[in-house]
Structure 1
Amino acid sequence: MLIFIIHNDNINPYFNLALEEYLFRQFNNDCFMLWQNSRCVVVGRNQYTLAEINLDYIKAHDIPVVRRLSGGGAVFHDLGNLNYTFIVTVHDWQKSSSFEKFTTPILNVLHRLSIRAERSKRNDLTIDGKKFSGTAQYRHRNRLLHHGTLLFSSNLVDLSSTLTADPSRFQGRGIRSTISQVTNIRDYITGELTLAQFRDLIMEQVREVYKDSCLYTLTNHDLSQIHRLMEEKYYTWEWNFGISPLMWG
């Protein structure tokens, strides 16, 4: 099937998560997208937000917090991080190998750069045992959304500070994030390589794997629907903070 390469240079986290859901629910074609968010925290669908974040730090630095469609743990985004998304139609025989399938283009690029990156048992990507990429998935019927982060040159102080919550302040039954030692890809690159150049290498690799692909530019109709979803869902306190599996003891 033809895969759409979605052109998106918007860095608004609320818009980008609404865009992912719009593509997942409204498009029949497979899709691939590389995208970035300005500084923010993105929490998993089943998490209790306040138990995952350092609320004082986030308020002091005016960092947005938004909930995504998929499960998994909380992650920090900034312009030193690159995100990738695959949205595909899934057949039963593919389900067990989807993580390997979607991370192969990423690993191929890193191996060509002589970086010894590998998959972990937790479906992360690591270098020397340090995590630089976390992944999550969302399924509905025969459609699958797989997305991941790629820490290239992120501010690791901000990352640690935003995700260091005080466990005594909030108790609940949400899915807690797993604490991992993290690293930036750029620290392992010999020579000069910008994030934009790294992005181009990934795009070239995806086009090599998915030869039947074409660039898709969002239409005015698409943008109108995405903005509507953003306003009605992703901008709301109810979605980002209000809905949670919290049960006070």
Structure 2
Amino acid sequence: MINVINNSNNPYFNLALEEYFLKYKNLEDNILILWQNEPVIVIGKNQNTYEELNLEYVNSNNIKVVRRLSGGGAVYHDLGNLNFTIIEGNSNIHKNDFSFFALPIISCLNKLGIKATFNGRNDILINDKKFSGNAQYFYKDKLLHHGTLLFASDLTVLSKALNVKKDKFESKGIKSVGSRVTNISDYIDTNISINEFKNMLIESVFEDKNEKIKNYILNDEEIKKINELVENKYSSWEWNFGKSPKFNYIKEMRFNSGSVSITMNVVDGIIKNFKIYGDFFEENSLEELEKRFINKKFEIREIKNIVESTNISKYILNINNEDFIKLFL
């Protein structure tokens, strides 16, 4: 096994790094990568991005959003969360065997006096509380297994960022399942930093393989190719939002001048149908206003630009632009 050194905290780079070693770089050995992200929501491959996060909170707190290669649910990462990736050259050996990859983690925690257990489909628990979720992705003969390790993450932000508002969504995407979560650091008596824990985990993984630690440092050409993946894929709206399954969005709010509701059909992140309903009084035909949103991205900045370039009260009596934008948040 080879330990790839990665000190980046950029979530776009870190996910591109995974794909690079899975699809474009063959070290002829299994690969371990440990990495941390600045605040980000990581969306599962088959999920509807809009459905999984509190978009208003995410935008106002400058939390990034990125889609990963593997399936499973949406997760929140920050610098208190340690992520691990293992790439195996033969996918047939441990395909869908999530418990196998949990063993060195459980062993590492045992050395710290913490009893951890593998449970259910893909979780590792301490005292029945989840601190690690795992997922897999397959490419040709290769297997990519990765997971989260909540070490000292801000669980308050986690709950807010993934606290989807109770607006009505109808979607073919897969909804995340809420779970009680905990931090590893809460169960450690001594003062151990996340970097110290990271080094302990590397030792545990190689010890589990009965191998000496072998490190691999990225060269400039490899970093260049990874950054190309960042630019062309992982930082793009098309990958992170446009890949969402088609869905219908319905939102209704009541204002002093009456109730207003909007419905839209979104396909590949693009608004294909848009209608306004309510018991308000109309100033001018709504069709002109509705057409402004057709074939536009379902993305808050673009929607705000449309609203800000329009006098909403020209169409809906006594509804101003600020009120109208609330229907999209």
Alignment TM class, shorter chain as reference: over 0.9
* 8 Å Cα contact 2:95/2:143 also seen in 1: no
The 5 A counterparts of 1:1-249 are 3-28=1-26, 29=28, 30-95=30-95, 98-210=97-209, 211=211, 213-248=213-248
- Three-state SS of the structure 2 residue aligned to 1:171 is strand
CA–CA distance in 2 between the matches of 1:91 and 1:61?
Answer: 39
- Three-state SS of the structure 2 residue aligned to 1:85 is strand
Q: Tell me the TM-score normalised to structure 1 length.
A: 0.95
Q: Which has the higher contact order (CA 8 A, sep 6+)?
A: 1
Moved more, 59-68 or 165-174: 165-174
- Three-state SS of the structure 1 residue aligned to 2:192 is coil
Work out the percentage of aligned pairs sharing the same amino acid.
46
* 8 Å Cα contact 1:51/1:167 also seen in 2: no
Unaligned runs of 5+ in 1: none
Q: Tell me the TM-score normalised to structure 2 length.
A: 0.72
Report the count of equivalent residues. Answer: 246
* 8 Å Cα contact 1:132/1:184 also seen in 2: yes
CA shift at 1:122, angstroms?
2.3
CA–CA distance in 1 between the matches of 2:88 and 2:113?
Answer: 30
Unaligned runs of 5+ in 2: 249-264, 266-329
* 8 Å Cα contact 1:80/1:151 also seen in 2: yes
**Paired AA for residue 68 in structure 2:** R
CA shift at 1:212, angstroms?
5.7
Q: Bigger radius of gyration, 1 or 2?
A: 2
- Three-state SS of the structure 2 residue aligned to 1:122 is coil
Q: Deviations over 1:97-133 (max 9, x none)?
A: x312211110001111111110111210011111000
Moved more, 113-122 or 67-76: 113-122
Q: Deviations over 1:137-187 (max 9, x none)?
A: 101221100000000000000000000112424331111111000000011
CA–CA distance in 1 between the matches of 2:239 and 2:148?
Answer: 22
The CA RMSD over aligned residues, in Å, is 1.4
CA–CA distance in 1 between the matches of 2:233 and 2:94?
Answer: 31
* 8 Å Cα contact 1:44/1:68 also seen in 2: yes
Moved more, 163-172 or 40-49: 163-172
**Paired AA for residue 8 in structure 2:** N
